[in-house]
Amino acid sequence: MKILVTGGAGFIGSAVVRRAVESHGISVVNVDCLTYAANLANLDDVSGSDLYAFERADIRDAAEMARIFLVHQPDAVMHLAAESHVDRSIDGPGEFISTNIEGTYVLLQAARAYFETLSGARREGFRFHHVSTDEVYGSLGAVGKFTEETSYKPNSPYSASKAASDMLVRAWGETYRLPIVVSNCSNNYGPFQFPEKLIPVVILNALAERPIPIYGAGTNVRDWLFVDDHADALLTILTAGKLGETYNVGGNNEVSNIDLVRTLCVILDEQRPRSDGKYADLITHVTDRPGHDFRYAIDASKIERELNWAPSVTVEEGLAQTVRWYLDNEAWWRAIQSRGQVGERLGLRDKMIAE
């Protein structure tokens, strides 16, 4: 089997590529235009494998997408390429509209044209797996969970762009009979995460003895999914999911932001103690993000029931592994920090201020 993975040099994409090649012996073509958050170093473990190929290309480039399908003849597509940082989408929504919506359209058209050339078993087995987010559903109150039947109600430019791309994929499945499957996941974390998301920001700020920012009161709740668990779920959906269906993928690990950060501080205290005080002393409450959704929670019972998948890593286990990885891989994140403007506060017109 050969799969074309878009965004394979990103955080989740690289986890999928590594697992596909190393654990499943699947041939992978990684298509990535290498934007700021992409990093080919994430793929050092598989870059020399005969099962791995890399194409530097933008999914918005129709000619390049057509060429890549023709040259590599994939059996399936896993579409992960996207702009994904909510704060960046507040400051610059245009890039999110262009990449996440227009890019998905171009890729769908290329996949459709390629699919129409297939016949027999290859046509029967082909599928287009679109990887999305639970943020398309909007915000939950104190109770309830998102299911596959939850209505879409995106609240940020990022989530709106992903919701639109989800709808495009569904439409291509219905109108053009492109064999599609969609998945919506909760917040991912783990090794190789670009240091602009909450968990790596906390870890690296703590190690640098800088303030650890908490948006607002820190009571916003997220379900946390370890990235290797997610990669396993995505490959399960790709190979066993029912065409035309949506699968929600969650970690069964709901935690408020403030409790998550406090847990990280305790783990850091254990793994690399400060010379003076505790890491929690660095926690600083800052102005909240505009339109900050209060709570996300995933009901992942469908994928467990139908595909026999469930998360294997608790948030306590995953956070401890993640902290240890950042401590052991300083060269990886130092190289990213050397580019500058990494970890700075985005998404507000005014500079970060204490509450």
| Active-site residue list | 134-135, 158
In the numeric block, which tokens belong to residue 93? 């929504």
β-sheet bridge partners, residue 222:
255
Calpha distance 137→107 (Å, rounded): 24
Residue 153: phi, psi to the nearest 5? -155, 65
Beta bridge partners of 221: 256, 295
The rounded distance, in Å, linking the Cα atoms of 254 and 315 is 9
| Torsions phi, psi for 274 (to 5 deg) | -70, 155
Residue 128 bridge partners (DSSP): 77, 180
Scanning the chain, the segments in alpha helix (DSSP H) are 11-24, 62-72, 86-91, 93-96, 103-115, 120-125, 157-175, 198-207, 227-240, 257-271, 301-307, 315-328, 330-337
**Looking at beta carbons, which pairs linking 108-117 to residues 24 or more positions away fall under 8 Å?**
108/168, 108/169, 108/172, 108/178, 109/62, 109/65, 110/62, 110/65, 110/66, 110/68, 110/69, 111/69, 111/77, 111/178, 112/172, 112/176, 112/178, 113/66, 113/69, 114/66, 114/69, 114/70, 115/178, 115/179
The residues, ordered by sequence, that sit 6+ positions from 97 with a Cβ below 8 Å of its Cβ are: 157, 161
Give the three-class secondary structure for 211. Answer: coil
